[in-house]
Structure 1
Amino acid sequence: MPPKLSFLDMPAPAGYVPGLGRGATGFSTRADLGSAHRATDTDIPDDPERFRDPDDAGILGRESADADDELADEIYAQIDARMEERNKKRREIREEKERQEEEKQATIGGMFADAKRALSEVSHDEWLNLPESGDQTRKNKRARIEAREGLRSYNMSDSVLEGLRGRAEIGAHVTETDDGSVTHIKAISDARDKILDLKLSGRETSTSIDPSGYLTSLNSENSQSTSELADIKKMTPFVESLIRSNPKNAAGWIAGVRLAELKKKPSQAIQLAAQGCENCPTNEDVWLESIRVNDMVNARIIAAQAVKRLPESVRIWEAAADLETTEEAKKRVLRKALTSVPQSVQLWKQLVNLEDEEHARLLLRQAVVSVPLSVDLWLALARLEDHKAAEKVLNRARKAVRTAPEIWIAAARLREQVNGAQKEVDKIMKKGVSELEYHGRVLSREEWLTQAHICEKEDAPLACGAIIRATVAQGIDKEPEHVQIDTLLESSRDLSYPVTSRSVLELATEMFPFSEKIWLTWTALERRLNSGDQLWSVLEKAVTSCKKSTQLWLYYIREKWHHGKFKESREIVSRAFEEVGHAQEIWLEAVQLELEVGQPDRARDLLEKARDVGVARETLWVRAVRLERELGKAPAAISLAEKALEEFVECDGLWIELGKAKTESSGVPEARDTYIQGTKNCPKSVALWILLAAAEESRGVQIRARSVLEQAALINPYNEELWLARVRLELRAGNIAQVKVLLSRALQECPQSGRLIVESIGLEPRSHRKSKLVEAVSKNENDGYILVLLAKSLWLRNQFDKASKWLTTALEMDSNNGDVWLWAYKFFSERGEGVDEVIEGFKQAEPTEGEVWSSLKDDIGNFGKTEVDLLKEGSSKLDLGSK
């Protein structure tokens, strides 16, 4: 057996080329081949080890592998497969990104793909007219001359134009030069023109000089010019290129003129304007620009040339007339203009405005013949004619322009001026609306309301009402009744036009005479307008139409009563008893009326009569008990209350009055027992619980008072009155820590309570109150207590104007809060202004809420005082506090 050869000593296999795997190329020579004999397998020594893998030998050779090695190989193979699977998704994502990046790298062919597609649309003539590419390198003299003189132009690629189109919409407007090149520059020129206009208008200053600030103004102007210098340099090549590329484009010349003005080169601006007129003789903007930049003498010459070139240009004729310094000269120019443009309404108006009334009438007669469709000219002529001639003019106008509502409105106003007959005015408007609809002109309700407002402002109330009656109800007859009523009421909301609002409401009451909602709205309107007799007239019609409306009867009684007409008020009360005698509100109003006129005995008789006829229910019983207390007869009040409680045991008002009567008669202990009994029968009455707690506190038993309020809170959760009572109880006890805890819990249950928020702000450190107050106002902008707190803080800082503003806002937002009125009266009375307005607004609002205000009204010591007296006395007791 031959010895085993090492690897390096073994002969190379047939056809082996060294380094073939690394890119080498094999070759052979005659010396390598020797004879032409081809080697065969018999020529190679038989060595069974020659094809053996060298890795199978040695320490790591496979011959020494055992079962553990096989297991390890299997485990490694599984790990490799697992890692391959984990990296597969990541690799795919990476490969996809690489592929997309490669696609983004556009080839030369791809860059011009859009141009190639566009070639399919090129016609045969366009192919023949394609310009030669020429010498792009500018190596010869001719190319340099052409480049310097701007005689060459180059086409931009479609990709560039597409990008510009996205920014400035250049693709929508193009210009074409003589050599066939197309450049999209319209939008660029318009934008540049606008920029120049803005800059020029920004630099316009007054001709007057303020010596004290002259140097400062010069410095500011210089700094502004410095900041604009870079923009001017950037705009210059754009404008020059625009003019060279298309001298027939007027926008380029105008931009050049204004750029020259920015550069403060007036002579250059004049020259560019003249060149623009030469190149664009049919463009009126260029002529107007040239007129503007020249002096008066040259401008007149240019205007004369312009009107020859463009005799039908109204703007040029107007500019020419403006150049004249005398009215006669202007008239002469305008008359000449009208010979060229007789259909120009604007020129006719300007000429008419320069004439006296007689000549203006003659001119307008010619104008309506030349421009028969101009409504303004017809109306102007009608205003200058007498009544009979004006009617004829309007009749002619109506036939010439059958779709103009202004003509019919003018006819109605003319009839109003002639005889003031409402029926005739209404007849004209109804006919006019019908004619307009026949000819296809239908105006919306809002448009007719606008016309009515115009008539009202111009003191034509009959025409205003006629418009309303003829138009406002149109289109709602098919709607349900409540929708029709709401639509009509919506049209009467604007109080700045009372005639229009009254006309709408009058129409509404004619359509729905038994609608209490409409009558109440009309009554509220008249009350806000403080119309006096007009209000009483409306109320008389209202109670006649809606005889069973308790609220309308109450309004009627109060209005007569508040104006001191007590006798008439009693008569209205008697009428109300006949119609709605079962209504407790009427009985209560009658009782209050008698007390106002100083007749408490008659008031007591009325209450007794109500009990006898069976009308008296809880409210009347409570009022009767209170009246006895107010008259100082506590025993009679107790007897009456106990009698009433036999029938109305669940009436908390009776328990409250009984407890107060016992306090006045016997003292707190008996009242406490009454309140305990009352809370058992009326556990939902918060007022009773608070009175019981106050009775316990007055006995010195704060623990008991605290327990009462906690029990009440369990029965009546989310009640701000109880939370306030608990907070103030702890404040009186000096438990500040407990107060903060209670306020935190209270604001969680009642986050919108203005009084709780005010209490919490009062406990904040002074440095934090302002921010807390601002936050509270932003979240509760309609709460009167918070707005008053803000006004008080401004008041203390002597910021009276701001305080007045916020108090006024509080009155508007929370007019039913009597406390707001108290603070407003205190502020304005101390300032010595606006007091009468506050009192009048207070009477109109008739507030029923407010913590301080309610306590003033409940105090029997104020019996016999008017609400205005309570307003004045209560405001004097308010404490503004300190900073």
Structure 2
Amino acid sequence: MFVRLPSYKSLKSKPPPNYIAGVGRGATGFTTRSDIGPGIYSIAALGVHKDDEDDEDDLRENFDEFEGYHDMGLFNSAEYDDKDLEADAVWESVDEYMASRRKDRKEKRAKLEMDKYLIASNPIINQQFLHLKRDLKNMTPEQWDSIPEVGNYSRRNKRKRFKSFVPVPDTLLERARQERALLASLDPKSLAAGGTETPATDLTAVGKGRGTLLSLTLDQFSVRNFTSIDTEAYLAGLNSTKILSDADISDIKKARLLMKSLTQSRPEYPRGWISAARLEEVAGDIKAARRLIQRGYHKCPKNEDVWLEACRLARPDEAKALIAKGVKANPNSVKLWLQAAKLEHEQQNQIRVLMKALQRVPTSVRLWKAIVELANEEDARILLQRAVECCPLHVELWLALARLEISYEQAKKVLNKAREKLPKEPSIWITAAKLEEAANGNTESVGKVIDRGIRSLQGEGVEIDRDVWMKEAEVAERAGLIVTCQTIIKNTIGVGVEEEDRKRTWVADAEECKKRGSIETARAIYAHALTVFLTKKSIWLKAAQLEKSHGTRESLEALLRKAVTNQPQAEVLWLMLAKEKWVAGDVPAARAILQDAYAAIPDSEEIWLAAFKLEFESHEPERARMLLAKARERGGTGRVWMKSVIVERELGNTSEERRLLEEGLKLFPSFFKLWLMLGQMEDRLGHAANAKGAYESGLVHCPKCPTLWLSLANIVERMKGLSEARAVLTMARKKNPQDPQLWLASIRAESRHGNRKEADRLMAKALQQWPSSGILWAACIEMVPRPQRKRRSADALNRTNKDAHVIAAVAKLFWHERKLDAARDWFNQAVTLAPDIGDFWAWYYKFELRHGTDDSRNDVLKRCITAEPKHGAWYFTVISLPI
């Protein structure tokens, strides 16, 4: 069966009117929104005639954007329920998601196309030079310096291509003719002939003459002939010349507009004129600044600041006349009168100006002070007498007049008048007390004046500020008026202080005064505190330390005598007093003091040991041995046995030394120093095995003692080598995990035997475990190669918070680099931070021996003796124990 297909022309032809496809086959036709788009159904498609306007309006009213026409369509009778709403929401979210995906893809594609266009087709300047900017990081400083300076290549200063010619006006020609007539010279022939013509002038000769005259004038003012030129001021002026950039010029132009608007809108506002003038001064146009400030003082003649600014900007020869105008316009301005006096160069003229000012403003304290400073002593006293009459409420004038009075009686009268005028001023009473001490020498009246002054001020309702009075006491001390200082402290130190806070507050006040250098004030505070807290040992010690640092030996002994009398149970005060006598060379007096101390405190072991030390170091070994024997009989501790062994060792009595050690170890087996001394004795006698056994026995009783472990490792290393010593030190680190000295001993043992890698490994592990250990960082600085020591020193200072061991290591580093001043400073810091470590003093003294003077060496030695160092490296401690 063959079916005839429609031709191409029939497919492209229009269908007949009212044709609906498929009707012949029984199909039902309908139209969806996808067929007609988002618009409203056409009236023709619905079978409605256009001329029926009423039906068309009804159709528009029945149309809904979502549902279409209410009475038409396939689903016009269906209901829109919640499921339909949920479905529509889902489809809407899907549409939004797809739209967002398309949006991101579209934006990314547009950005790629734009970047491709900018980089490949039309790149900007920044992208063109981007690879060159990256190469700048590889440039050396020499290459940077070789870059030439940027010059001015603009066409701003080039000649214009075309010149414009303007006709000369007649006025200019007439002026030229008149000038030519004046410069012309008379011709005798012309005069004789009765002629009136003006001869021609040689303008070339006139030009040469003017050039010669100008050169002569410049030669007179040349630098070579001007011998009094100030070269430093000239160079300073050149250095102060400011070259403005384009941005600065733009800012100045904007500021000028603002200042112009301000001065025009508010011409009576003085700060506007001042700001405008200063702006021109900054811009470098001093003439414009003078013009603006001139307009300013014409607009604001009653403002003194405008006149002062005009005087500052004026030329030196015009300043006096200008300030005179200002004074005339403002006769009561103190600032203008002072400026007028300042402009005078002779002292007598300055006094004359100030006298005129005081005639106009007699109540100005500033004018009176200025004229008194210029006058001599006699004239100043007369002026101050007039000043206190005009300004009776200003205390400084009264006090100055009292100081200038010749006699004590006149000064006292002045202060009495001042007290009547100013009954609430405490400085008058303090000045009266100073007067009693300085002029009259009556120290008893000082206390009465201060006491009466405080009562009078309190009666007037004045609150006594203890801080202010303490400052006045320090001022009196600096003036040498010690009694006044002590009296002020005595009467005011307890004002406003709670009873339970007195001790803490007074000690803090004394320490602050000590830091400021007010020693007498601190001494007065301690003296008053000791009258209240007579039995407080801490205050006695603070006062004794103050006297030891800043007082005399007699004052310290007197204070300690008073201290042991009021506090006989404080053994430290007895020991300090005995030591002062001993240092002074009075051994019998020191011995007597210790006997008195023993009578006051019979069971004090410290006093027994101090008496032993006195006798032993005074080369009285028998007395020392006898004292120690009595101390052992009374049941002394291990320290007494240790001192006894030291005496026998110094005397060379080895058998007695061994006996005392054996007896002491039976009584005090846990006292590690006895085991240490036994091992040292055996090692000294050449019995290394016995010394090793003594150290091992000591570690049985004292396994936590690092000094015994170090001594054992030292002797084992000498006997059996590094491997055995390494095993001992490893065991020591396990027994004492919190002691960095054992790690340091292991590191040094490996270094001594050339095992550099193992030493570095141990150092890294030790620093990981103790990152803030000063002794480890100091050793680390010495171990690293020299080029790395500076960087390692900086790390050590940051990690250890400037430990004394690290500071000493840095000082030695500066010494090796021949930076002597820096090395001296760092050695000084080390001994200041840790004065008890003898190693620092030894290095410091060795440095001064090589690079210092006799004074510096003696100073270091004296400070070391005063500090009495007792600690140091462990091997020094092992060799010699302190007595």
TM-score, normalised to structure 1, is 0.73
1:254 counterpart residue number: 274
Report the CA distance between 1:689 and its aligned residue.
2.2
SS at match of 1:473: coil
Within 2, Cα distance between the matches of 1:755 and 1:724? Answer: 8
Other-structure match for 2:523: 502
Of 668, 673, 676, which residue of structure 1 is paired with 2:696?
A: 676
Q: Is the aligned partner of 1:831 residue 2:846?
A: no
Give the Cα–Cα distance (whole angstroms) in 1 for the partners of residues 311 and 52 of structure 2.
106
Decide whether the 8 Å contact of 2:774 with 2:803 is kept in 1: yes
Contact 2:280–2:288 (CA<8 Å) still a contact in 1? yes
What residue in structure 1 maps to residue 758 of structure 2? 738
Contact in 2 for aligned 1:817/1:849 (Cα 8 Å) = yes
Name the amino acid aligned to 1:692.
L
Q: Residues of 2 paired with 1:37 and 1:466: CA distance?
A: 118
Q: Which position in structure 1 is the counterpart of 2:581?
A: 560
Task: Report the CA distance shift for 1:795/1:441 in structure 2 as closer, same or farther (over 3 A).
Answer: farther
Give 1:537 shift.
Answer: 2.0
Equivalent residues in 2 for 1:468-479 (5 A)?
A: 468-479=489-500
- The CA deviation at 1:538 is 2.0
1:622 Cα deviation (Å)? Answer: 0.8
Q: Does 1:407 align with 2:428?
A: yes
% of aligned pairs identical?
34
Deviation per CA, 1:570-625, whole angstroms, max 9, x where unpaired?
2222222222232222222222222222112221111112123x152111111101
What is residue 417 of structure 2 aligned with on the other side?
Answer: 396
Measured at CA, do residues 676 and 257 of structure 1 come closer, stay the same or move farther in structure 2, by a change above 3 Å?
A: closer
For residues 513 and 219 of structure 1, what CA distance do their matches in structure 2 show? 67
Residue of structure 2 in register with 1:821 after alignment: 841
Tell me the SS of whatever aligns to 1:289.
helix
**Is structure 2 residue 866 aligned with structure 1 residue 844?**
yes
Q: Distance in 1 between matches of 2:320 and 2:565?
A: 75
Letter in 1 for 2:476: C
Secondary structure in structure 1 of the residue aligned to 2:499: coil
1:42 counterpart residue number: none
Larger of the two Rg values belongs to structure = 2
- Is 1:6 matched up with 2:31? no
Equivalent residues in 2 for 1:530-545 (5 A)?
531-545=552-566
Matched, 1:775 2:817: no
**Secondary structure of residue in 2 paired with 1:548:** coil
Structure-2 separation of matches of 1:643 and 1:518: 42
Moved more, 325-334 or 453-462: 325-334
- 1:32 Cα offset (Å): 6.0
Alignment equivalent of 1:343, drawn from 344, 363, 367: 363
Task: Tell me the equivalent position of 2:223.
Answer: none
Distance 2:535 2:308 in 1: 67
Pair 1:517-2:532 in alignment = no
Any residues of structure 2 matched to 1:724-873 within 5 Å, and which?
Answer: 724-833=744-853, 834-851=856-873, 854-855=876-877, 858=880
Offset from partner CA, 1:449-489 (integer Å, 9 cap, x none): 32222222222222222222222222224225653554454
Partner of 2:177: none
Relative distance call for 1:439 and 1:826 in structure 2 (3 A) is: farther
Which of 413, 438, 441 is matched with 1:417 structurally? Answer: 438
> For residues 794 and 11 of structure 1, do their structure 2 counterparts lie closer, same or farther at Cα, with a shift above 3 Å needed?
same
Helix, strand or coil: the match of 1:402?
Answer: coil
Give the one of 579, 586, 609 matched to 2:600: 579
For 2:426, the aligned partner's letter is P
- Shift in Å, 1:215: 7.7
Question: Compared with structure 1, are the counterparts of its residues 268 and 51 closer, same or farther at alpha carbon in structure 2 (3 Å cutoff)?
Answer: closer
* CA distance, structure 2, for counterparts of residue 492 and residue 37 of structure 1: 109
Does the Cα contact within 8 Å between 1:723 and 1:746 map onto a contact in 2? Answer: yes
CA distance in structure 2 between the aligned counterparts of 1:682 and 1:21, rounded to whole angstroms = 101
User: In the alignment, residue 547 of structure 1 is paired with which amino acid?
Assistant: P
Q: Which whole-Å CA distance do the structure 2 matches of 1:517 and 1:712 have between them?
A: 41
The Cα RMSD (Å) is 4.0
Change (3 A) 1:274 1:36: closer
The answer (yes or no) to whether the contact 1:811–1:820 under 8 Å persists in 2 is yes
CA pair 80-330 structure 1, distance change in 2 beyond 3 A? same
Amino acid at match of 1:858: S
Q: Quick one: which of 206, 210, 232 aligns to 2:252? A: 232
Alignment of 1:199-238 (within 5 A): 218=238, 221=241, 223=243, 229-238=249-258
Change (3 A) 1:209 1:438: farther
Please give the secondary structure, in 1, of the residue aligned with 2:699: helix
Q: Residue 487 of structure 2 aligns with which residue?
A: 466
> Would the alpha carbon gap of residues 572 and 244 (structure 1) be closer, same or farther in structure 2, given more than 3 Å must change?
same
Alpha-carbon contact 1:527-1:844 (below 8 Å) kept: no
Structure 1 distance, partners of 2:43, 2:229, is: 99
1:796-820 CA deviation, whole Å, 9 max, x = no partner? 1111111111111112111111111
The one-letter amino acid of 1:5's match is I
CA–CA separation in structure 1 for the residues paired with 2:576 and 2:522: 20
Superposed displacement of residue 240, structure 1:
1.8
Aligned twin of 1:371: 391
Shift of 1:742: 2.4
Does the 8 Å CA contact 2:273/2:293 hold for their aligned counterparts?
yes
Query: What residue number does 1:455 align with?
Result: 476
Within the candidate set 604, 607, 611, 2:628 is matched to 607
Aligned to 1:179: none
Q: 1:534 to 1:677 in 2, by over 3 A?
A: same
**Preserved contact between residue 680 and residue 691 of structure 2 (Cα < 8 Å):** yes
For 2:386 and 2:53, the matched residues in 1 are separated by 127
What SS does structure 1 have at the residue aligned with 2:500? coil
Task: Flag the 1:82–1:489 CA change in 2: closer, same or farther, 3 A.
Answer: farther
The whole-number CA distance in structure 1 between the counterparts of 2:793 and 2:55 is 114
CA apart distance, 1:499? 1.3
Q: CA deviation at 1:227?
A: 8.2
Partners of 1:623 and 1:430 lie apart in 2 by: 57
Could you tell me whether the CA contact under 8 Å between 1:20 and 1:26 is conserved in 2?
no
Structure 1, unpaired ranges of 5+: 39-49, 55-72, 95-206, 864-883
Q: What's the counterpart of residue 352 of structure 2?
A: 332
The corresponding residue for 1:722 is: 742
Conserved 8 A contact 1:628-1:636? yes
Distance 1:271 1:736 in 2: 81
Alignment match, 1:546: 567
- Match status 1:280 vs 2:300: yes
- Aligned counterparts of 2:502 and 2:284: Cα–Cα separation in 1: 71
Which residue is 2:161 aligned to? none
Cα distance in 1 between the residues matched to 2:434 and 2:705: 63
Residue 239 of structure 1 contacts residue 255 of structure 1 at CA under 8 Å; is this kept in 2? yes
Partner of 1:528: 549
**Structure 2 CA distance for aligned equivalents of residues 648 and 597 of structure 1:** 29
Q: Indicate how the Cα distance of structure 1 residues 758 and 586 shifts in structure 2: closer, same or farther if over 3 A, else same.
A: same
Change (3 A) 1:86 1:843: farther
Is the 1:584–1:615 Cα contact (8 Å) retained in structure 2?
Answer: no
Answer yes or no: is 1:292 the counterpart of 2:284: no
Change (3 A) 1:670 1:36: closer
Task: Verify the 8 A CA contact 2:302 2:329 in the aligned structure 1.
Answer: yes
The answer to which structure, 1 or 2, has the higher relative contact order (CA under 8 A, 6+ apart) is: 1
- 2:563/2:573 contact within 8 Å kept: yes
What amino acid sits opposite 2:812 in the alignment?
K
Equivalent residue, structure 1, for 2:207 = none
Q: Secondary structure at the match of 2:515?
A: coil
Change (3 A) 1:390 1:8: farther
Post-superposition offset of 1:373:
1.4
For structure 2, list consecutive stretches of 5 or more residues without a partner in the other structure.
1-17, 57-70, 76-82, 105-226
Distance 1:20 1:828, change over 3 A: closer
Contact 2:796 2:806 in 1 (8 A): yes
TM-score, normalization: structure 2? 0.73
Per-residue deviation, 1:700: 1.4
Cα deviation, 1:346-388, whole Å, max 9, x if unaligned, reads 0111122222222221221121122111111011000011211
**What is the rounded CA distance, in whole Å, between the counterparts of 1:37 and 1:283 in structure 2?**
89
Larger mean CA deviation between 264-273 and 516-525 belongs to: 264-273
